[in-house]
Amino acid sequence: MKKDNLIWTEKGRKQVFDCRVFSVWESYCKPPVSQSDQDEPLVFSVIDAKDWAIVVPVIENAGKKQFVMVWQWRHGCHCLSLEFPGGVFEPGEKPQDAAARELYEETGYKPEKITKLGEFSPNPAIMSNKVHFFLAEDLKNHGKQNLDKDEYVEVVLVDVEEVSQGMGKPPYIHALMGTALALYCQTTVC
Amino acid sequence: MKKDNLIWTEKGRKQVFDCRVFSVWESYCKPPVSQSDQDEPLVFSVIDAKDWAIVVPVIENAGKKQFVMVWQWRHGCHCLSLEFPGGVFEPGEKPQDAAARELYEETGYKPEKITKLGEFSPNPAIMSNKVHFFLAEDLKNHGKQNLDKDEYVEVVLVDVEEVSQGMGKPPYIHALMGTALALYCQTTVC
């Protein structure tokens, strides 16, 4: 699609902050040419972080579909959150492998089948990284988490319907879990 | 719910970066007591930004349900994105008023009816702010945008089904629009 009236041009960028999890850049951009004769670029702040995966693990339990989910503490909201498993890619790791690894580490479940559901910018207004979504099926429970030091994760099975109805209210407070649910619902009746 | 084995305790925080759109804080936290005897707090980086609203505007057009959506350039991904309208709250503004105002400014549509769909942390791992979702109905098109300087937004009507099937692929690359869709689908058959 051609939308020259909306496209900005980046003239340069500079790192202005860095920490373990992300860095912040100033991006110097000129507005869409056809709508402005302004000469100086404007400054936009962009957060760069590693790509990561979110996995929707589905099992059938007594005729009901359930998600394998994780309780964990989140330092941004300073609150508990009930989420799909996931985590950042290791260097050189394929998205699908990262998804399966994170699922196994956080929950002890290994998938026989893993399918890409979609790929998003978590917040393209200010973030440059990507979040990749996967569906994990035919799960085998190996019964043992493999958590990082200082990682505290509690595994639970939750009915699909409960998650679907609960989104947007505690403990389903992580917006990107809503994204994951929307993608899952593309594949089946929710 | 009582989950003492997962709850961290914040001992203090300090601002380490600031710009027009967000600030970054170091949060000093002690791990869940029952699982650790570690004495020194660990450092977590937290991004603080204003709360904002995302609005799902629905109209019925020739028997089909459509969303009022906006094309815009996003500086984080450096790409075009097709999204629901939205924007940050002004000081003291009620979430619902902010939602209606942003919808009107970006698209020229005013809603007779606006309903809260849910509230999330956009990314509770690293962000402390909230994003509020609204459904806007009984829309009147006043035909005139009221954009900020250097804001370039193109309005389009898109069939609900097209958006639903497109999520996770360009131009539906903004993850929080997937969240909005999941909440909309709680209210109706998608």
Same structural domain, B104 and B147: yes
Looking at this protein, which amino acid is placed at residue B181? L
Maximum CA extent, chain B: 66
Structural domain range at position B28 = 9-49
> Shortest CB distance from A125 goes to which of B42, B75, B169?
B75
Own/partner long-range contacts of A36-39 (Cβ < 8 Å, ≥24 apart): A36/B150
Same structural domain, B110 and B157: yes
Same structural domain, B94 and B30: no
Q: Give the CB-side neighbour count of residue B172, counting CA atoms within 13 A.
A: 22
CA–CA gap between residue A102 and residue A85 (Å, rounded): 7
Query: pLDDT truncated to tens, each residue of chain B (190 aa)?
Result: 678 899 999 999 999 999 999 999 999 999 986 555 656 899 999 999 999 999 999 999 889 999 999 999 999 999 999 999 999 999 999 999 999 999 999 999 999 999 999 999 999 999 999 999 999 999 999 989 999 888 999 999 999 999 999 999 999 999 999 999 999 999 987 7
Same structural domain, B45 and B63: no
> Shortest CB distance from A80 goes to which of B7, B127, B190?
B7
Contact B120 A16 (CB under 8 A): no
ipTM value of the model? 0.94
E strands, B62-160, in order:
64-74, 79-83, 86-88, 109-120, 131-141, 153-159
Contact A133 B20 (CB under 8 A): no
Determine whether A77 is exposed, middle or buried from the number of CB atoms within 10 Å of its CB (0-12, 13-18, 19+). buried
Same structural domain, B105 and B181: yes
Closest Cα to residue A150, out of B127, B46, B32, B40? Answer: B32
Tell me: the pLDDT tens digits for A126-170?
999 999 999 999 999 998 999 988 889 999 999 999 999 999 999
Q: With a CB-CB cutoff of 8 Å, which residues 128-147 of chain A face chain B?
A: 128, 131, 133
Element (H, E) at B99: helix B95-107
The last residue of one of the domains, among A49, A65, A80, is A49
Looking at this protein, which amino acid is placed at residue B88? V
In chain B, the residue whose alpha carbon lies closest to the alpha carbon of A30 is B150
Q: With a CB-CB cutoff of 8 Å, which residues 36-95 of chain A face chain B?
A: 36, 42, 44-47, 49, 71-81
The predicted structure's pLDDT at residue B165: 95
Secondary structure class of B128 (helix, strand, coil): coil
Q: Is the pLDDT score of A101 beyond 90?
A: yes
In chain A, what residues touch B173 (CB-CB under 8 Å)? Answer: 119-121, 124
Q: What is the DSSP letter of B108?
A: S
Q: How far apart are the first and last CA of chain B?
A: 32
Same structural domain, A24 and A111: no
Domain count, chain A: 2
Same structural domain, A100 and A35: no
CA–CA gap between residue A168 and residue B82 (Å, rounded): 22
Same structural domain, B45 and B56: no
In chain A, what residues touch B164 (CB-CB under 8 Å)? Answer: 182, 186
CA–CA gap between residue B66 and residue A72 (Å, rounded): 37
CB atoms within 10 A of CB A137: 14
CA–CA gap between residue A175 and residue A136 (Å, rounded): 20
Same structural domain, A84 and A145: yes
Q: Give this prediction's pTM.
A: 0.94
In chain A, what residues touch B73 (CB-CB under 8 Å)? Answer: 6-8, 32
Is residue B124 within 8 A of residue A86, CB to CB? The reply is no
CA distance B119 to chain A (A): 5
